[in-house]
Amino acid sequence: MEGRNQSRVTQFILLGLSDEGGLQSLLFWLFLSMYLVTFTGNLLIILAIVTDSRLHTPMYFFLSNLSFSDMCFISTTIPKMLLNIQTQSKVITYEGCLSQMYFYMLFGVFDNFLLTVMAYDRFVAICHPLHYMVIMNPKFCGILLLGSWVLCVLNFLLHDLMILQLSFCTELEILHFFCDLRQVTQLACSDTFLNDLAVYLTSGLLGIVPLIGIFSSYSRIVTSILRISSVRGKYKAFSTCGSHLSVVSLFYGTSLGLYLSSAASQNSRASAIASVMFTVVTPMLNPFIYGLRNRDIKQALRKLFSTETFSA
């Protein structure tokens, strides 16, 4: 190999979305606007749920955690990207790269687990309405949330520790706007078989298994809804799942597009552009989906912005 091995690197180069200088200002203001909208929208969802006692239910408990996760998810990549554009620097430190990879994967997969837990919550609410509060009690909700955190934390801690065992070549340019695990692994001079194997195994475990859980929950939900005799009853039951289904479709649609683009064109800007949909657009649209489609959230937001709230 032409590049000389080095056991310790100090920094990587993030090439970003475009090399054209004229686009940098446009990209800065575009992504800054999207970041502020995402952060503000999710923060408002959290405040609305916290301040309205009517929303202190399992469904909104998980929704508030989803909003918090989305805020953290987008904050792992976009602020560093904006800083690099503003300072006209493409450098990210080795430690910063590892941290960014870890938290990006952590909150991305945590979103996936939350969507699965929320699907189960809807299954219990529709298929076992009389036992809903007994099954989805605060202790059980806490266990589901804690279990999701533990799985994500331990899994991606393993990935970061495995990256630490790699030695890297002199070519340290990442064709992305953040430290992507696969692209960082491809820069290594040492053998990456175990790293690649771990990625494939965990992708299947943490990607496919939650998806199966969501499909299983909704297959039973659909079966229960079809048994309801009145049209109004069917609509009311299905309407409680509408927002969640929209978010699930958006999440898996963008993640599938990201996976296919990465597989079809490795080391290409196509995967970087596709990741914008998953990393930025999805967290930005989630509060709009729940805010516009959910009557309880809209009422809580109106209450949050009412004169009585501010005066209190």
The answer to whether residues 297 and 45 touch, using CB atoms and an 8 Å cutoff, is yes
User: Residue 250 corresponds to which amino acid?
Assistant: L
Please check the confidence at residue 312 and state whether its pLDDT lies above 70.
no
User: What DSSP assignment string belongs to the chain?
Assistant: --SPPBS---EEEE--S---HHHHHHHHHHHHHHHHHHHHHHHHHHHHHHH-GGG-SHHHHHHHHHHHHHHHHHHTTHHHHHHHHHHT--EEEHHHHHHHHHHHHHHHHHHHHHHHHHHHHHHHHHHSGGGHHHHT-HHHHHHHHHHHHHHHHHHHHHHHHHHHT--B-S--EESSSS--HHHHHHTBSS--HHHHHHHHHHHIIIIIHHHHHHHHHHHHHHHHHHH--SHHHHHHHHHHHHHHHHHHHHHHHHHHHHHHHHHHSTTSHHHHHHHHIIIIIHHHHHHHHHHHH-HHHHHHHHHHTSHHHHH-
Residues 26, 5: Cα–Cα separation, whole Å = 38
Domains detected in the chain: 11-311 (1.20.1070.10)
Question: Is residue 47 within 8 Å of residue 76, measured between CB atoms?
Answer: no
For residue 144, what pLDDT is reported?
95
Residues of the chain with pLDDT > 90, as a percent, come to 48
pLDDT of 33 over the 50 cut: yes
Region for residue 16 given its phi and psi (left: phi exceeds 0; alpha: psi -120 to 50; beta: otherwise) = left
pTM higher than 0.85, yes or no? yes
Rounded to the nearest integer, the mean pLDDT of the chain is 87
Residue 94: both structure tokens together:
């080795």
Question: How many residues are listed for the chain in this entry?
Answer: 312
Query: Is the predicted pLDDT of residue 265 greater than 80, yes or no?
Result: no
Per-residue model confidence as pLDDT tens digits over 46-83: 999 999 999 999 999 999 999 999 999 999 999 999 99
pLDDT tens digits along 183-218: 898 888 888 899 988 888 888 888 888 999 999 999
Q: Which of 129, 149, 121 is nearest to 57 (CA)?
A: 121
Q: Which residue shows structure tokens 């929303």?
A: 55
CA 51, CA 53: separation in Å to the nearest integer? Answer: 6
- How confident is residue 3, by pLDDT bands cut at 50, 70 and 90? very low
pLDDT, tens only, 87-144:
988 999 999 999 999 999 999 999 999 999 999 999 999 999 899 999 999 999 999 9
Sole residue written with tokens 């596709």? 274
